[in-house]
Amino acid sequence: MKPNRKYTNDSVGWRFDNSYARLPESFYAQLHPVPVRAPQVAMLNHALAESLGLNIRALSDEEAALLFAGNVLPDTAQPIAQAYAGHQYGHFTMLGDGRAILLGEHLTPAGDRFDIQLKGSGQTRFSRRGDGRAALAPMLREYLISEAMHALGIPTTRSLAVVTTGEPVMRETVLPGAILTRVAASHVRVGTFEYIVRIGGTEGIKTLADYVIHRHYPALVEADNPYLALLNRVIERQASLVAKWLLVGFIHGVMNTDNMAISGETIDYGPCAFMDAYDPDTVFSSIDQQGRYRYSNQPHMAQWNLARFAETLLPLLHPLQEKAVALAEEAIHHFPAVFQDCWLAGMRKKLGLFTEETEDSQLIETLLTWMQQHQADYTQSFRALASEALPQDALFRDAEFVEWHARWQARLSRQAESRQSSVSLMRAHNPAIHPRNHRVEEALAAASERGDYSLLQQLLAAVTNPYADAPEYHDYRTPPEPSERVYQTFCGT
């Protein structure tokens, strides 16, 4: 295998500045991606590249494949694998990037800083028993879902490219290998704090917290207690994020503390999925036997993870342990209220409400209970409410729904805004199209088993335009037939 080559004349326009690699050496391992045999481009995100100020159109297919496989490195890259830990299904483990390399932080022309990470790039000293590689279908899945989430207005890491490696990976069967290029505000996780406090103590955690404040929350430098302010800001961002997930019916699937980003972006798309029929107990992940990360438990798990985050900050919150604990507890106890505010505000938009009434929560709960009892499709039902006239559907002639509808209409008429403004608000907050699991599975199977990317490209075009009613997307809006329903998703790492 050829070793990594370094670019000399960089036509792509990388502007790397690797601030993480300037942190203490114990925070990461310095190493290169392991070159792959025969890389080929599967997906390239030109729109994202442009927004980053990268000119990937200047590359031939072969050059792009070598770059996004890590066979060739931009000369300003400073590749590292980050160290972190995590509570996985409640159990603490030392982890780290076992199959990912951070090439560095790219600075966009607007001055924003993004991690550029290759996922599936070979073994590192954090690989434990893993091969350091990734299979094609899960990488395509992350590409598709992360781009769909972005189009839905949900904070998320993005996907710049997927390349196949030309090497097989051994899972339950032999699968084609692939590498995903992930773009993130950063890859600092709750698990990063859990790792650093254990190996670096108070000094280590201060270094990391100061780094994060400087990088993600610069305004907090001025705060009376910047570390408490950091805790509160992370709580707010996570509450807002998880509320957004619930509002679109998203289930992350593996909310371990190593998969919760301090930036407030959705990260690590494994067995994630969107609900079809509304059921708060929905679980997709085949390994989530207890339903720990089921749809309705996500706010609770976010709070649990944030408590682990708060514990790592204790030495910084107050010199007296007792006081520090009290401050942390107060902040964490605030989470449900912050979450509820975000969720309720989002639900009001979904129902076209501009004003606030105390009975709104009850109005929403009644609708959701009805949806659950009638196994109504979550996305399609909300979108139907946003249409000028309800679809001629037996479901909407149900007596309980008719009664609810009258209550809702009365509620709408108690606000000054016009019906048309309500419809516009609803149409902007109730997507018509999202990545339906049966469509995702079908598209991934065609791409990964038969090398046919046409379904995936069509699906990607549909889900990155989620508020469109275009007739050609009809099939992407339609819920699955009982025979098409997906009941389980697999990590497939």
- The answer to whether 268 contacts Mg ion (rule: CB under 5 A) is yes
At its nearest, how many Å lie between ligand AMP and the CB of residue 120?
8
Strand partners, 405: none
- The answer to whether 265 contacts Mg ion (rule: CB under 5 A) is no
Nearer to ligand AMP, 139 or 241 (CB): 139
CA proximity to 171, closest of 120, 135, 128? 135
Chain positions contacting ligand AMP, by CB under 6 A: 95-99, 126-127, 130-133, 254, 258-259, 268, 270, 493
> Which of 192, 257, 259, 282 forms a contact with Mg ion (CB under 5 A)?
259
What's 213-228 look like in SS3? HHHHCHHHHHCCCHHH
Give exposure, 352-381, as e/b (b: 16+ Cβ within 10 Å).
Answer: bbeeeeeebeebbebbeebbeebebbbbbb
131 binds, among ligand AMP, Mg ion, none (CB under 5 to 8 A by kind): ligand AMP
Residue 404 neighbours by CB under 8 Å, 6+ apart: 363, 366, 367, 370
Q: CB–CB of 417/256 below 8 Å?
A: no
Say which of 112, 210, 224, 258 is annotated catalytic: 258
Q: How far apart are CA 27 and CA 256, in angstroms?
A: 20
- The answer to whether 146 contacts Mg ion (rule: CB under 5 A) is no
- The answer to whether 240 contacts Mg ion (rule: CB under 5 A) is no
Nearer to Mg ion, 186 or 259 (CB): 259
Helix boundaries (H) for 29-130? 46-51, 61-69
Q: 258 an active-site residue?
A: yes
Nearer to Mg ion, 259 or 298 (CB): 259
- The answer to whether 142 contacts Mg ion (rule: CB under 5 A) is no
At its nearest, how many Å lie between Mg ion and the CB of residue 304?
17
95 binds, among Mg ion, ligand AMP, none (CB under 5 to 8 A by kind): ligand AMP
Strands 273-274 and 250-251: antiparallel
Nearer to ligand AMP, 133 or 350 (CB): 133
DSSP state of 189: B
Distance of CA 238 to the CA centre of its chain: 11
Nearer to ligand AMP, 259 or 422 (CB): 259
Q: CB–CB of 387/424 below 8 Å?
A: no
Which window, 99-107, 143-151, 265-273, 307-315, contacts Mg ion (CB under 5 A)? 265-273
CA-CA-CA-CA torsion sign (381, 384, 390, 393): negative
142 binds, among Mg ion, ligand AMP, none (CB under 5 to 8 A by kind): none
Nearer to Mg ion, 165 or 259 (CB): 259
Q: CB–CB of 150/156 below 8 Å?
A: yes
Provide the 3-class DSSP secondary structure of residue 56.
helix
| x-marked contacts with Mg ion along 1-30 as a string, rule CB under 5 A | ------------------------------
- The answer to whether 257 contacts Mg ion (rule: CB under 5 A) is no
Which window, 16-24, 260-268, 374-382, 388-396, contacts Mg ion (CB under 5 A)? 260-268
Which residues of the chain form contacts with Mg ion (CB under 5 A)? 259, 268
Please give the positions annotated as active site. 258
